Structure 1
Amino acid sequence: MHRYDQEDLAGPNQADVWAVSDRTPLLQGHCSTMGDKIGISQQTLVSNAEFSSNGKKLPQYIAAIAATLGSLAFGAVLGWSTSGGDGGIDLAAEYNITISSSEFSWIGSITNLGAAAVCVPFGVLMDLIGRKPSMLLLVAPFLVGWGLIIWANSVVMFYVGRFILGVSGGAFCVAAPVYTGEISEPSVRGTLGSYFQLMLTIGILFSYTLGAFAPIKTLSIVSAIIPLIFFAVFFFMPESPAYYLMKNKDDLARSSLLRLRGPAYDIEQELQAKKDTIAEEVKNKASFLEAIKTQVARKGLIVAFGLMMFQQLSGVNAIIFYTGSIFGEGGSMSSETSTIIVGVIQVVAVFASTLVVDKLGRKILLISSSTVMTIGAFTVGIYFYLSHTGVDVSAYNWIPLIAVCLFIFMFNLGLGPIPWMMVGELFAPQIKGIAGSSACLFNWIMAFLVTKFYSDLVTAFGNYTTFWIFSVVCALSIVFFVFVVPETKGKTLEQIQQEMGAVPAPPPTSNTIKV
């Protein structure tokens, strides 16, 4: 059976974020463009401490949930192809269209290309017209994409519809984390930022579950309703205060922040801190080629692209693909049931990640997830090898079942969501837009290649060899996480950049450190 591929989930995930500049209070370090020196004002640090936890949290949670309903809609898109049957047999039968296995693989994977195409231009659109209007506009292509699929009478209509849905969903992968990052206080930034991937996995589980019991056309119709629900709810949410400050609309920014923090909250310090950050960003704005000459920027790109590479090559795609056969051999479980179990594991793992990511830290979760995934992939490889050589493994069929469940759980706890979160934390504001967008583009292209061609790898080398290769990749990722990736939990931009080689600013001679 063709399945939703896990890197699709990972690809979008959960940064603060990768396509446009994040101007949250956490990133108050003021970076110089043409060097590695970074300064930060003492007043900013004091302000952060004072306003980091005094505002009302409920309005922020509500706004974040409303924004990430669009992610839920994209999750339904990613899980949709699972209902198409092995090689698209069920899809072809229901629509009375001839669909080859190769064509169905394109139907499943072309969504990634749509998402890749929109990474950079949608970041520009958000800066032009605002976060909220940009996100509301995405409902239109969502409806067009689903309409093409619902009334499809050719493979080409499926291609176009899925590509447009990829554009819509990929744009939400840019927009939702940016919006939640800009409306949240530092004390809940990690939690609200992880709502994006949580909603994504819920959307996938919804698609898995409904698709197991209803025709795929019914699934498409119901999935098309979700963007309308998003529009109805998010329409009443405030625009990002950071966007209003970018446009010098201080009164509107003040009003938005009051809605998000509550009337008893003293917003002036936070507003001033945000204004200082934006002003410094404008002052230090330079070309990407100039900024990338610095050691810290180059290392940031190495870390970001390394995280994306190991995320995509971890083997989770193959694990998801073979879940049905493994569960079937191990416990006579139907493919539909095993798929739903996978969806539940994903949701539970991401929810657990929202609870611990701001407590345990990014690095320990990355190392832990890759360690368990290394063991899991190696174990599944042994299972397939023994089966291939004719060894009776029926007495040990519980081992691969546990390995698969742990693999999927740990991926969604660490290596799935955290790379996107960290990409939003690594870069100075003046290069975050282009650096984050390039990481986004790289991730989606990798997602497409793995989704489209990993079955060829299995054919060429065998499934057991493929899983052993994935195990080696996961083991190499542990080394990368230990020696290259910095810990970003609870740190300012200045601290993060110093860990990557930036020279600290000289001691203050007055209340403010000059850049």
Structure 2
Amino acid sequence: MSGDKDRLIENEKNPTKLYGDCEKNQNERRQEIGENSQSSQTQIDIVKAKRFPQYVATITATLSAFASGVVLGWTSPISKELENGAYHNISINANEMGWIGSFVTLGAMTMCFPFGIICDLIGRRAALLLLIIPFSIGWSLIVWANSLLMLYIGRFITGMAAGACCVAAPLYTSEIAQKEIRGTLGSYFQLMVTIGIFFAYVVGKFATISQYTVICAITPFIFFIVFVFQPESPLYSLKKAKVETARNALLRLRGSNYNVDSEIDNIKSILESSMQNSSSIADSLRKTASRKAFIIALALMFFQQLSGINAIIFYTSDIFSASGAKIDPKIAAIFVGGFQALSTFISSLIVDKLGRRMLLISSDFVMAFATIFLGLFFTLQDRQLVSKDTLSMLGFLPVVSLCVFVIMFSMGLGPIPWAISGEIFTPELKSFAASSAGTFNWFLAFLVTKFFLELETDIGVDVMFYVFSIICFCGSLFCYFVVPETKGKTIEQIQKELEG
């Protein structure tokens, strides 16, 4: 027993070694520690840290993303009614309708950087709970709107909440998750966004416009009620020297049998090393690994937004009509929204098995071919290069291409950029990096939302799809040559790989 005590004392002094021991199999641990059954059981308990509490915490945190998805999806099922003045007798033309959609992206873009600072000042959990304020104000303006200006302001403020959520939720998730399930939990952000959009499509189809808006306005309160009971991120607590708070959080998230002290010592080691090596964000950005991480995060957001997903969603009803299918545009939107949610869920199940790079590369590559076939079909149709009978025979092509595109986007390029952005940065850069990536993403979303129709009119919808195809091919090459695999790796391992 005295030898075991000496070994435990040594491990406490060297937490990195003990943390590494967790990754070895049971036989190797027994050889190093000895055959003493009590010591062996202690090590086995470390490996058997509970995962269910981490899933619960992640789901409740990303209900904020669900509420954000509802914000994004609100206009789609009721766009015709809004333009017809059916909502509180507010007159809205096509251009104003475009601004109602665009104000969400503008609000989101303006909030990412300030909220990154807020996350560092008051914590990830408190920042997420704070979202109830802009969500409530924004939806109140929309529910009781009596003018176009109130709709504009309401959409802008709910957009601020959505933008803040895309910074805080991935941060919180990446900091509470074990590395073995970090990819799965990291993909829940995008999954909840797609479920929120799907929810909006379904409710918008079957409820009146007023009932629909009130139901949408309730969703942030559901998030607040269930998330308020979750703990703060252990990493943030340790950054603020709140060791006991971090210990209690880890006990909640890992289970009572988990070796809490070992992980606390490991996190402390990471934080101390991070603070010693860089005293400011400017200093951190001088490192090769940090610069490369920024390039990767921003590039993935670029390829995500300019892949053509917004155009595919916008043209859903046209694609179904072109195929010869007589289908209600709202039903078509529900169909696509359901595909998105289901495919993103499948991605969350396999991302920690297949890895991030493989899903990103294959996602971009297949999407490139899907957009080529969509462009080809619209070239044949709009430029009248074939007869109507031949075009009718090819009616399956746009629908199949749409389905393949949505599935592959939702399995790779949709959720994974958010997960990777939470994995490749050191602690002192995480908030700043998440804010930068979120701002860039929403800026691109605004450009696509506001100016896509004008560009499509100038060059043609088929050419636009060809452009999207080129971007997807470039994205696949970028992921192959530049993006590292982060599956199952610690932040130190990822940083060393980025350093080359």
Match of 1:424 in 2: 422
For 1:180-195, what aligned pairs fall within 5 Å after superposition?
180-195=173-188
Q: For residues 289 and 212 of structure 1, what CA distance do their matches in structure 2 show?
A: 50
| 1:287-436 alignment, distance < 5 Å | 287-330=280-323, 331-390=325-384, 391=386, 392=388, 393-436=391-434
Partner Cα separation in structure 1 for residue 56 and residue 486 of structure 2: 26
The CA deviation at 1:380 is 0.8
- Structure-2 residue corresponding to 1:460: 458
* 1:407-441 deviations in Å (ceiling 9; x for gaps): 01101111111112122222333333323322221
Larger deviation: 331-340 or 248-257?
248-257
- Whichever structure has more helix as a proportion of its residues is 2
Partner of 1:93: 86
Aligned counterparts of 1:57 and 1:290: Cα–Cα separation in 2? 36
Give distance in 2, aligned partners of 1:492 and 1:134: 26
Corresponding residue number in structure 1 for 2:478: 480
In the TM superposition, structure 1's runs of 4+ consecutive aligned residues that sit over 4 Å from their partners are 47-52
In 2, Cα distance between equivalents of 1:291 and 1:256 = 29
* C-alpha distance in structure 1 between counterparts of 2:487 and 2:412, whole Å: 14
Mark the CA change 1:290 to 1:432 in structure 2 (over 3 Å): closer, same or farther: same
The aligned residue for residue 495 of structure 2 is 497
Name the SS of the counterpart of 1:411 in structure 2.
helix
User: Structure 1 residue 239: deviation in Å?
Assistant: 2.1
Residue type of the alignment partner of 1:366:
L
Q: Bigger shift: 162-171 or 119-128? A: 119-128
Partner of 1:115: 108
CA distance in 1, matches of 2:49, 2:178: 8
1:162 aligns with 2:160: no
Cα gap change, 1:248/1:48 in structure 2, threshold over 3 Å: closer, same or farther?
A: farther
Give the equivalent residue in structure 2 for 1:179: 172
Are the structure 2 counterparts of residues 260 and 293 from structure 1 closer, same or farther at C-alpha, using a change threshold of 3 Å?
closer
Give the corresponding residue for 1:46. Answer: 21
Report the CA distance between 1:260 and its aligned residue: 1.6
Question: In structure 2, how many angstroms separate the alpha carbons of the residues matched to 1:362 and 1:100?
Answer: 43
Aligned partners of 2:469 and 2:58: how far apart in 1?
A: 36
Aligned partners of 1:193 and 1:410: how far apart in 2?
18
Please name the residue that 1:512 is paired with.
Answer: none
- Amino acid of the residue matched to residue 414 of structure 1? G
Asked if the contact 1:47–1:270 (Cα under 8 Å) also holds between the matched residues in 2, the reply is: no
Q: Deviations over 1:165-209 (max 9, x none)?
A: 011122111122222222222222221222221111111100001
Shift of 1:43: 4.5
Q: Relative to 1, partners in 2 of residues 1:362 and 1:55: Cα closer, same or farther, differing over 3 Å?
A: same
Higher relative contact order, chain-length normalized (CA < 8 Å, sep 6+) = 1
- Aligned residues: CA RMSD: 1.9
How many residues matched? 462
Shift, 1:157, TM fit: 0.7
Pick closer, same or farther for the CA change 1:266–1:435 going to 2, 3 Å: closer
Residues 1:338 and 1:302: Cα distance change in structure 2 (over 3 Å) = same
Q: Quick check: 2:77–2:204 contact (8 Å CA) kept in 1? A: yes
Distance 1:201 1:488, change over 3 A: same
AA aligned opposite 2:255? G
Matched AA of 1:55: A
| 8 Å CA contact retained: 1:311, 1:415 | yes
Tell me the amino acid that sits aligned with residue 435 of structure 1: A
Give the match's secondary structure for 1:271: helix
Check the 8 A contact 1:179/1:240 in 2, yes or no.
yes
Aligned to 2:256: 263
Structure 1 residues 112, 371: closer, same or farther in 2, change over 3 A? Answer: same
Q: Distance in 1 between matches of 2:162 and 2:298?
A: 22
Q: What TM-score comes out, normalization by structure 1 length?
A: 0.86
Report whether the alignment pairs 1:197 with 2:206.
no
Query: What residue in structure 2 maps to residue 36 of structure 1?
Result: none
Letter in 1 for 2:72: L
Higher mean alpha-carbon deviation, 237-246 vs 366-375, is at 237-246
Q: Is the 8 A contact 1:53 1:186 kept in 2?
A: no
AA partner of residue 361 (structure 1):
G
Residue 276 of structure 2 corresponds to: 283
TM-superposed deviation, 1:88: 4.2
Flag structure 2 segments of 5+ consecutive residues without an equivalent: 1-14, 25-42
CA distance in 1, matches of 2:376, 2:66: 36
Q: Secondary structure at the match of 2:187?
A: helix
CA contact (8 A) 1:83 1:216 kept: no
SS state of the match for residue 181, structure 2? Answer: helix
Letter aligned with residue 62 of structure 1: V
* SS of equivalent to 1:500: helix
* Equivalent residue, structure 1, for 2:31: none
- Greater Cα shift, 78-87 or 438-447: 78-87
Q: Which moved more, 1:256-265 or 1:407-416?
A: 256-265
Report the residue type matching 1:69 in the other structure: L
Distance 1:308 1:55 in 2: 33
Q: Secondary structure at the match of 1:495?
A: helix
Output the amino acid matched with 2:329: S
Alignment partner, residue 5 of structure 2:
none
Pairwise CA distance, 1:449:
0.6
The range that moved more, 65-74 or 289-298, is: 289-298
Candidates 69, 72, 76, aligned match of 1:75: 69
Q: By how many angstroms is 1:44 displaced?
A: 4.2
Which segment is superposed worse, 332-341 or 485-494? Answer: 485-494
Normalised to the residue count of structure 2, the TM-score between the two structures is 0.88
- 1:114 is displaced (CA, Å) by 1.2
> Deviation of residue 127 (structure 1)?
2.0
Between the aligned partners of 1:446 and 1:87, the Cα distance in structure 2 is: 28
Cα distance in 1 for residues equivalent to 2:274 and 2:142: 43
